[in-house]
Amino acid sequence: MKAFSLEDIDNMHHLYRINLINSCSGYKSANLIGTQNSDGNTNLAVFSSLTHMGSNPGLLGVFLRPTTVIRHTYDNIKATGKYTINHIHENIIEDAHHTSAKYDKSISEFDVTNLNEEFKEDFFAPFVKGCPIQIAMQYEEEYHIKANNTILLVGKIEKLYVENTLLEKDGFINLSKGKVATINGLDAYAVPELKTRLEYQRPKEGFAHRDG
């Protein structure tokens, strides 16, 4: 097994280090975040840093890179408080990945890809039409991560849209039925298949926790 020390990592070519560290954490969610600014210009960007933070209320966090350069998604969310999260699926991977390209704020990623914007029930931010899971989000708060100057942005789920075929009787969303993609590193996409669901686990008899 190849081993990398902190010194090895520090001395790597920066592109090798970026690929190595971004992929070592495992598969990540693949999402498109849709926003709109006060002038009506829409924006769409791919993110792989979405994380569940709580179910009641439903909170989702997303990590954003430093705002020392222009970040249209962050600026729009801060200005309007509204954004959408859309799950990338097998049929839109290439167009979704292209939203990582840096365009001027006057140019919408919807206009330079085959992705189509969709507005639902007067919600301010655009959804991505055809995504099997679409989530309307409200900005709640943010935290500055001092270690690398990134931001953890926390939002509350206002409305959740799920394709009927994905929803199981117990509320479980079967992502594999929707061919939902995941990201390995920065640029590698996979479409996983569900293997099994396991029951809630309890301690084996005779091995339960004992105080003292």
pLDDT tens figures, 42-63:
999 999 999 999 999 999 999 9
Return the H-helix or E-strand segment holding 20.
helix 14-24
Report pLDDT digits (tens) over 118-173.
999 999 999 999 999 999 999 999 999 999 999 999 999 999 999 999 999 999 99
Residue-level pLDDT at 212: 53
State the pairing for strand pair 188-190/50-55.
unpaired
What mean pLDDT is predicted for residues 6-23? 94
Would you say residue 75 has pLDDT above 90?
yes
Would you say residue 209 has pLDDT above 70?
no
Let me know: does 157 contact 57? Beta carbons within 8 Å.
yes
Q: Which domains does the chain have, with CATH numbers?
A: 27-190 (2.30.110.10)
pTM of the model: 0.92
Specify which residues 116 forms β-bridges with: none
Would you say residue 66 has pLDDT above 80?
no
Closest CA to 83 of 32, 133, 150, 24: 32
Residue-level pLDDT at 94: 97
Would you say residue 205 has pLDDT above 90?
no
